[in-house]
Structure 1
């Protein structure tokens, strides 16, 4: 099977994310769901992609085989973590919306940031952003998705550490309501920190 440019685009998108679900691909490709199934069926049958029903009542998810990953810049994922599943699904929704709102910018996924080592880990645990927007004027905007309230000390450390990352002009936090409330006080005097209610952003 000879892969088309669109096939390779699909493989790269999936592997940039690590894995994704059917609605993500429909959104990314701007096609109807039936067409998404048709495109993915070919890639699954040819063993470029693995299709898995991980959770009952949730859409099928897709990730690459080693064969499929050969057409991308990243290795395939080793497994799908249930612990980060919700965060992953919402993070991809945020990324797709950001790519649509800022078509002039390049989206760099967390997987690329880690793999390419083009982004210095910040914080005591080597924190890496959930993603990065790179604009034509070389502005870099770090993207964070916060769905739960983390320890105050850890969040303070991450926020303060961003101040020393001179390549990062701003940090955009997309938050659940509880996380938004928790971060508001910490970010109030940090002009480089922007908070967005995730529910409103994705509406």
Structure 2
């Protein structure tokens, strides 16, 4: 009989790789609850076919489920997302917090899903560039609820840059009023002062990014602890405005 040790080893390695992919997807969905094949494929570094095969295998194990929705109807028509099932959520949840969150069809507004998908695209690009410690908006809201004085502004996501800075991400699909942005600037100025975050990245469509930067430069005062102060350049230089392409191309 020939030596079968190579085949046994190969089988073990293959099973190990499958488990690693499954764990990566579950860890990602534990924070996001749902995602797309495109984003999960980028996370895994796999082709569309290989990603779909992995997800279908997880679907058979009742860890994820495919849903057809219309979160970007004007652009592409019907979309599909993979939602975390109750079983998947139970296996993915952090043992310290033990917050079991799973996707339930129809319970999340399509506009919220579209915004979350946009944030996830930013997140997964960051992960491939070496950014760490990503915290989703949903998790940040839970954290902020326990310490509202610290979290005056709840970002869309939080991450640690390759050079160790704590960066708040604001992913803008639509424009807020100037008064609202002035309030946000005040909140972040206080959070810079308290060392809650080091910088803010606004990620926007190309036609919005530059206009938003100009708008922030026009603000001449901020309110901190009820007192008015002039906007210092040290505050403004910590806030960066990038288009989606700028972010994708950032080294």
TM-score bracket, normalised by the shorter chain, equals 0.7 to 0.9
Partner of 2:179: 153
**Residue aligned with 2:69, SS:** coil
**Residue aligned with 2:198, SS:** strand
TM-score by length of 2: 0.69
Q: Which runs of 4+ in 1 moved over 6 A?
A: none
Partner of 1:180: 209
Listed as ranges, the gaps of 5+ residues in structure 2 are 1-17, 71-75, 218-232
Structure 1 CA distance, aligned partners of 2:169 and 2:55? 29
Cα deviation, residue 113, structure 1:
1.6
Residues 1:140 and 2:170 are matched in the alignment:
no
Structure 2 CA distance, aligned partners of 1:12 and 1:64? 11
Residues 1:86 and 2:114 are matched in the alignment:
yes
More helix by share: 2
Q: 1:199 to 1:41 in 2, by over 3 A?
A: same
Q: 1:156 to 1:123 in 2, by over 3 A?
A: farther
Q: Which aligned pairs between 1:11-50 and structure 2 lie closer than 5 A?
A: 11-50=26-65
Cα deviation, residue 184, structure 1:
1.5
Cα deviation, residue 5, structure 1:
3.7
Cα deviation, residue 6, structure 1:
2.7
| Bigger mean CA deviation after superposition, 56-65 or 85-94 | 56-65
Residues 1:10 and 2:25 are matched in the alignment:
yes
Aligned residue-pair number: 199
Structure 2 CA distance, aligned partners of 1:81 and 1:87? 10
Q: 1:100 to 1:119 in 2, by over 3 A?
A: farther
Residues 1:108 and 2:135 are matched in the alignment:
yes
TM-score by length of 1: 0.84
Structure 2 CA distance, aligned partners of 1:199 and 1:51? 29
Partner of 1:131: 157
Listed as ranges, the gaps of 5+ residues in structure 1 are none
Give yes or no for contact 1:64–1:76 (8 Å, CA) kept in 2: yes
Superposed CA deviations along residues 125-167 of structure 1, whole A, max 9, x for unmatched, are: x641111112577531101111211111111111111111122
Residues 1:64 and 2:92 are matched in the alignment:
no
Cα deviation, residue 42, structure 1:
1.8
Q: 1:135 to 1:194 in 2, by over 3 A?
A: closer
Q: 1:100 to 1:4 in 2, by over 3 A?
A: closer
Cα deviation, residue 59, structure 1:
4.2
TM-align CA RMSD? 2.8
Indicate the structure (1 or 2) with the bigger Cα radius of gyration.
Answer: 2
Cα deviation, residue 173, structure 1:
0.5
Residues 1:76 and 2:76 are matched in the alignment:
no
Structure 1 CA distance, aligned partners of 2:162 and 2:209? 29
